[in-house]
């Protein structure tokens, strides 16, 4: 059995650009609990009022699997434990289990704490002892342990034995600087296991790009407690990524740290944490990124169509992900057949419709379109080529005006005229902060009268890329739009030398995709 200890909400939040509100933390804890995480480090109650408030609210959560754990340090050098505000703050949370860190490297004892090595041992033992005497189970994080062991292995081991004498339940070896290599980690963990009869944990950082590998080799050497963060959030280069560690433990090493059903939630939990951190999700992450099981090369696609094991090391559904076939100028007709087989199952690579779609796609990508991040636009293109698509509205015309005033403020206004399939015409106008926003609002005002379901659709992202920088202000641009109706997300694309025209294409595809999907749900045969 391996215990999973998540420190996203404490160590992860120390990463550049990462911040969680109290409400965010509570949502993440509930998600991690459902995933089967055993310990969730909630924060440092001795450091800020937000974490104090968080622990008050966390007490009322009804968790099934996880314990919420406060984090702190050993006592200040001049304090006795019973008067140390940090240790008292840990007790005040009411948590059954607490985590504290102490110094394992003699250099840190003498140069950072400014105490003798012997005094450092007393600080560790008295701090852990105070917490255990007050009924707490203590997880002891041996900060900088691997660097300390390399410098003076005997002293590093003495720090662990001091915590063990005081009653710590688990000793966690930390590669705090993140600079150690896997075989070094493995050798040192084995050396510790030979000296100490307590559960040993592993906590690694990613400064050398080795955090996940170091954690796995630590487990293979005997560690039974694993600490990390989701999406590798953390200071500097981040912590060991639980999004990779958990499936590696379960699927590669056969360690049932979570159940099969819990593992299927992994990708969703990873994405939720990105969303609440207000950061883009790293789609190139192993296991949980959208690109993890995406295939673009023609030969690769042909192979996975015949047997997915040829280019996929696991079944993506195991971790809640899915296989994606990317259509591009590097893919052949077989890729298109694979991509559309659910909607159009009775076609092969030599079908006239497949050839036509392939040629249309090649022409479009040559013009600057890209469908990897705009699968909704590709789906609409497919239905148009297969003659299974009828437009929901016709543009009769639009106009966009941009005004600048003496106070340097600017205003954009768009007017638009559209006609529905029954011949009804709507003529609307709207203001916006910019021309694209004004056009988007005006278009929605017109179409929502025909199609009220569009009220649920909102843009979640808008990107512009210049395709030919040498062309200067006359360069062609590609606009990518992501939209959502609160349930599904989809991407669309537009290309033009005129950014308004490119935005219009992506906007109309985005709204038409929503209408088309709703119609096919209501009438599956359409």
- Residue 486 included in any domain: no
pLDDT above 60: residue 506 = yes
- DSSP letter assigned to residue 326: P
Question: Domain total for the chain?
Answer: 2
> Beta partners for 417?
397, 427
Handedness of CA 75, 78, 80, 83 (dihedral sign): negative
- Residue 388 included in any domain: no
pLDDT above 60: residue 330 = no
pLDDT by residue (tens digit) across 41-60? 999 997 778 888 899 899 88
**Domain final residue, candidates 276, 309, 333:** 276
pLDDT above 90: residue 197 = yes
pLDDT above 90: residue 258 = yes
Between strands 425-432 and 458-466, the pairing is unpaired
Verify that 166 and 229 share a domain, yes or no.
Answer: yes
- DSSP letter assigned to residue 12: G
Indicate the pLDDT class of residue 389, thresholds 50, 70 and 90.
confident
**Domain final residue, candidates 217, 249, 276:** 276
Q: Which range has the top average pLDDT, 241-245, 334-338, 434-438?
A: 241-245
Verify that 183 and 317 share a domain, yes or no.
Answer: no
What pLDDT was estimated at residue 407? 84
Verify that 248 and 302 share a domain, yes or no.
Answer: no
Q: What is the mean pLDDT of residues 117-123?
A: 97
- Residue 115 included in any domain: yes
What pLDDT was estimated at residue 522? 65
Verify that 22 and 171 share a domain, yes or no.
Answer: yes
CA 199 to CA 164: how far, in whole Å?
Answer: 10
What pLDDT was estimated at residue 337? 81
Indicate the pLDDT class of residue 326, thresholds 50, 70 and 90.
confident
CA 146 to CA 180: how far, in whole Å?
Answer: 8
For the sheet containing 410-419, what is the strand order?
A: 394-404, 410-419, 425-432
Question: For 515, how many CA atoms within 13 A lie in the half-sphere containing its CB?
Answer: 20
What pLDDT was estimated at residue 176? 97
pTM: predicted TM-score of the whole model, two decimal places: 0.71
Verify that 268 and 295 share a domain, yes or no.
Answer: no
Indicate the pLDDT class of residue 327, thresholds 50, 70 and 90.
low
Percentage of residues in the chain having pLDDT higher than 90: 64
Indicate the pLDDT class of residue 370, thresholds 50, 70 and 90.
confident
Tokens 């559209």 identify what position?
418
The rounded Cα 296 to chain-centroid distance in angstroms is: 22
- Residue 183 included in any domain: yes
- Residues whose CB is less than 8 angstroms from the CB of residue 421 and which lie 6 or more positions away in sequence, other chains included: 390, 391, 392, 393
Q: What is the mean pLDDT of residues 131-158?
A: 98
Cα angle 467, 471, 475; round to 5? 45
What pLDDT was estimated at residue 298? 67
**Phi and psi torsions of 65, nearest 5°:** -125, -35
54 CB neighbour count, 10 Å cutoff? 25
Helix spans in 208-332 (H): 211-220, 242-247, 260-263, 266-276, 298-306
CA 309 to CA 318: how far, in whole Å?
Answer: 14
CA 226 to CA 175: how far, in whole Å?
Answer: 12
Torsion of CA 282, 286, 288, 290, to 10 degrees: 60
Among 507, 348, 296, residue whose Cα is nearest residue 416: 507
Indicate the pLDDT class of residue 279, thresholds 50, 70 and 90.
confident
pLDDT above 80: residue 311 = yes
Indicate the pLDDT class of residue 521, thresholds 50, 70 and 90.
confident
- DSSP letter assigned to residue 45: T
Among 69, 20, 13, 11, residue whose Cα is nearest residue 40: 69
What pLDDT was estimated at residue 332? 63
- Residue 239 included in any domain: yes
Q: Which two structure tokens, joined as six digits, stand for 209?
A: 């790009």
Indicate the pLDDT class of residue 343, thresholds 50, 70 and 90.
confident
> Beta partners for 239?
205
Size of the chain, expressed as the number of residues it contains: 526
What pLDDT was estimated at residue 328? 60
Among 457, 455, 427, residue whose Cα is nearest residue 442: 427
Verify that 237 and 342 share a domain, yes or no.
Answer: no
**Phi and psi torsions of 485, nearest 5°:** -110, 15
CA 269 to CA 242: how far, in whole Å?
Answer: 11
Q: Which two structure tokens, joined as six digits, stand for 193?
A: 């296991």
64 CB neighbour count, 10 Å cutoff? 8
**Weakest-pLDDT range from 364-378, 383-397, 459-473:** 459-473
pLDDT above 90: residue 184 = yes
CA 161 to CA 63: how far, in whole Å?
Answer: 33
| Domain range for 126 | 3-276
Percentage of residues in the chain having pLDDT higher than 70: 96
pLDDT above 90: residue 519 = no
Average pLDDT, the chain: 91
- Residue 444 included in any domain: no
pLDDT above 80: residue 478 = yes
- 168 to 149, 165, 192: CA distances (angstroms): 20, 8, 15
**Phi and psi torsions of 254, nearest 5°:** 70, 25
Verify that 219 and 120 share a domain, yes or no.
Answer: yes
Verify that 250 and 335 share a domain, yes or no.
Answer: no
pLDDT by residue (tens digit) across 449-470? 889 999 999 888 888 888 876 7
- The DSSP annotation for 461-519 comes to EEEEEES-GGGGGG--EEEEEEEE-SS-EEEEEEEESSHHHHHHHHHHHHHHHHHHHHH
What pLDDT was estimated at residue 91? 96
What pLDDT was estimated at residue 120? 97
Verify that 114 and 257 share a domain, yes or no.
Answer: yes
- Residue 522 included in any domain: no
- 289 to 142, 281, 292: CA distances (angstroms): 32, 8, 5
pLDDT above 70: residue 193 = yes
Residue 363 burial (C-beta neighbours within 10 Å; 0-12, 13-18, 19+): exposed
- Residue 431 included in any domain: no
**Domain final residue, candidates 276, 310, 345:** 276
- 461 to 68, 76, 374: CA distances (angstroms): 34, 48, 12
Verify that 233 and 305 share a domain, yes or no.
Answer: no
Cα radius of gyration (the chain): 28
Indicate the pLDDT class of residue 248, thresholds 50, 70 and 90.
very high
Indicate the pLDDT class of residue 525, thresholds 50, 70 and 90.
low
Which carries the bigger pLDDT value, residue 306 or residue 340? 340
CA 67 to CA 33: how far, in whole Å?
Answer: 9
**Weakest-pLDDT range from 66-75, 101-110, 187-196, 377-386:** 377-386
Verify that 111 and 182 share a domain, yes or no.
Answer: yes
Verify that 245 and 326 share a domain, yes or no.
Answer: no
Which CATH number covers residue 258? Answer: 3.20.20.70
């Amino acid at each position: 059995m391996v215990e999973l200890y998540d420190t996203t909400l404490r160590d992860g939040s120390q990463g550049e650009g990462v911040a969680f509100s109290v409400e965010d933390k509570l949502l993440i804890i509930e998600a991690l609990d459902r995933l089967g995480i055993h310990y969730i480090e909630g924060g440092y109650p001795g450091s800020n009022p937000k974490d104090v408030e968080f622990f008050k609210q966390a007490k009322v959560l009804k968790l099934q699997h996880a314990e919420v754990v406060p984090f702190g340090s050993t006592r200040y050098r001049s304090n006795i434990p019973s008067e140390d505000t940090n240790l008292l703050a840990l007790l005040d949370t009411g948590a059954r289990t607490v985590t504290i860190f102490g110094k394992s490297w003699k250099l840190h004892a003498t140069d950072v704490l400014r105490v003798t090595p012997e005094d450092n041992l007393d600080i560790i033992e008295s701090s852990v002892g105070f917490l255990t005497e007050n009924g707490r189970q203590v997880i002891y994080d041996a900060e900088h342990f691997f660097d300390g062991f390399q410098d003076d292995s005997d002293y590093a081991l003495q720090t662990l034995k001091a915590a063990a004498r005081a009653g710590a339940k688990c000793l966690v070896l930390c590669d705090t600087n993140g600079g150690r290599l896997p075989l070094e980690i493995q050798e040192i963990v084995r050396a510790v296991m030979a000296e100490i009869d307590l559960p040993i944990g592993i906590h690694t950082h990613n400064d050398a790009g080795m955090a996940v590998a170091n954690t796995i080799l630590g487990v293979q050497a005997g560690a039974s407690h694993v600490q990390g963060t989701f999406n590798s959030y953390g200071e500097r280069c981040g912590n060991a990524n639980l999004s990779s560690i958990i499936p590696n433990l379960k699927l590669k090493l056969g360690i049932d740290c979570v159940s099969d059903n819990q593992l299927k939630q992994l990708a969703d939990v990873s994405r939720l944490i990105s969303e609440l951190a207000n950061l883009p999700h790293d789609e190139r992450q192993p296991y949980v990124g959208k690109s993890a099981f995406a295939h673009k090369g023609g030969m690769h696609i042909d192979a996975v169509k015949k047997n997915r094991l040829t280019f996929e090391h696991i079944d993506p559904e195991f971790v809640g992900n899915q296989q994606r076939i990317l259509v591009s100028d590097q893919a052949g007709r077989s890729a298109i057949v694979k991509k559309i087989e659910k909607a159009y199952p009775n076609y092969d690579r030599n079908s006239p419709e497949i050839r036509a779609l392939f040629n249309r796609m090649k022409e479009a990508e040559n013009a600057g379109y890209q469908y990897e991040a705009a699968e909704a636009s590709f789906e609409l293109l497919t239905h148009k080529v297969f003659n299974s698509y009828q437009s929901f509205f016709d543009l009769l015309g639009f106009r966009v005006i941009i005004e600048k005033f003496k106070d340097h403020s600017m205003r954009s206004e768009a007017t638009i005229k559209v006609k529905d399939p029954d011949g009804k015409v709507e003529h609307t106008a709207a203001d916006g902060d910019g021309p694209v926003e004004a056009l988007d609002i005006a278009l929605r005002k017109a179409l929502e009268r025909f199609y009220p379901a569009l009220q649920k659709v909102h843009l979640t992202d808008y990107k512009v890329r210049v395709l030919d920088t040498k062309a200067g202000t006359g360069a062609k641009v590609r606009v990518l739009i992501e939209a959502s109706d609160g349930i599904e997300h989809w991407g669309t694309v537009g290309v033009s030398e005129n950014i308004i025209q490119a935005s219009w294409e992506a906007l109309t595809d985005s709204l038409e995709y929503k209408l088309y999907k709703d119609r096919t749900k209501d009438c599956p045969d359409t």
